[in-house]
Amino acid sequence: MSGLPKCPKCGSEFTYEDGSNYVCPECAYEWSKDAPVESVEQQRVIHDAVGNVLADGDSITVIKDLKVKGSSAVVKVGTKVKNIRLVEGDHDIDCKIDGIGAMSLKSEFVKKI
């Protein structure tokens, strides 16, 4: 566009100036022109059920029986999952579970190994 910075919250490139602030029309985030700009990756920190910081590629253990939506399958307590991927949204972990397949999990129901 016209050399304006991308939104530090959602990464949108459609920001505009409003007085002494920048505004993102997609997520409505506002920040000061003279504030240090942090990228989306630097702001996102996801914790497991006990407070450990999770990162891409970590191994986790499920701490609660979880019903699989649209199926009669259940992910049992103690199920180990390797090589997770962190994503945006309510279910912030993408992974593959043996015997079930690709799933999204909430970080509040897992513990880092």
Question: What are the backbone dihedrals phi and psi of residue 109, each rounded to the nearest 5 degrees, phi first?
Answer: -110, 15
- Tell me how far apart the alpha carbons of residues 110 and 17 are, in angstroms, rounded to a whole number: 41
Q: Reduced to 3 states, what is the DSSP secondary structure of residue 91?
A: coil
DSSP assignment string, 2-49:
-SPPPPTTT--S--EEETTEEE-TTT--EEETTSPP--HHHH--EE-T
pLDDT value at residue 9: 80
- Specify the pTM: 0.62
* Digitized pLDDT (tens) for each residue of the chain, 113 residues in all: 468 888 888 888 889 999 889 998 988 888 888 766 555 445 578 999 999 999 999 999 999 999 999 999 999 999 999 999 999 889 999 999 998 999 999 999 999 99
